[in-house]
Amino acid sequence: MERVKDRLRWLADNWVLLVAGLALAGACTTTFVNVIVRYFFTKFVLVGAEELTTLFVSWTIFVGAAAGYKAKMMFGIDVLVNLFPKSVQRVIGVFVDLVVLVTSAYVAYLSWNFSNAAWIRTTSNLSIPYFWLDIPICIGFGMIAFYTLTDLVRRSAAVLRRDAAADGPGETKGGGRE
């Protein structure tokens, strides 16, 4: 029973990475098969292969961005932030998290409206609703907002406590992302 709990906990922690990885594998496989088919059967094309690749790439990019954000693999420029004392750097980190939270939550909201409106439109070959191509934007930015909120709570507590130890692993001196 404990093993099942551990696997479910792992899945809950890493589902974003799993979805992005499977989508990347799907995009590579679809493209590879389509190239092989076109090479050996010059007059034959896999119908809808481009649509499937576009679908997989959409999921890879937007859900993968959330996975990268969670793992703190996004770029940050700390040249100016490093000029300030540690206490100011933590305050700047909270401010940056607030900006990212508001921006990503707003993009998630807009993309949800956009995705809902896309149910009526379908792709030309496979008749896949455009909803499935657009919803990864909402999921990706929604997860970035969620991860930012958890970072913001941790950073805010550190600013209030003035605790330098709260700057967790994966963060630079300026409190930004590596």
pLDDT tens digits for 108-136? 999 999 999 999 999 999 999 999 999 99
Question: Tokens 């998290």, residue?
Answer: 97
172 lies in a domain?
Answer: no
67 lies in a domain?
Answer: yes
- Over the stretch 36-71, which tens digit does the pLDDT of each residue have? 998 888 878 888 999 999 999 999 999 999 999 998
Which value, in Å, is the radius of gyration of the alpha carbons in the chain?
21
83 lies in a domain?
Answer: yes
- Structural domain including 134 reads 2-166
Please count the other Cβ atoms lying within 10 Å of the Cβ belonging to residue 173.
Answer: 11
Residue 58: which residues within 8 A CB-CB, separation 6 or more? 23, 133, 134, 136, 137
User: Which of left, alpha, beta for 175 (phi over 0: left; psi -120 to 50: alpha)?
Assistant: left
Predicted pLDDT at 163:
56
More confident position, 162 or 100: 100
Cα gap 152→100, rounded to integer Å: 10
167 band by pLDDT with thresholds 50, 70 and 90: low
Tokens of 115: 């995705």
Q: How many residues does the structure list for the chain?
A: 178
Comparing C-alpha atoms, which of 140, 149, 146 is closest to residue 63? 140
177 lies in a domain?
Answer: no
37 lies in a domain?
Answer: yes
178 lies in a domain?
Answer: no
Cα gap 125→127, rounded to integer Å: 6
Domain count, the chain: 1
Partners of residue 171 on adjacent β-strands: 177
Cα gap 101→170, rounded to integer Å: 19
What predicted TM-score, i.e. pTM, was given to this entire model? 0.81
Q: Provide the CA 78 distance to its chain's centre, in angstroms.
A: 22
Predicted pLDDT at 82:
86
173 lies in a domain?
Answer: no
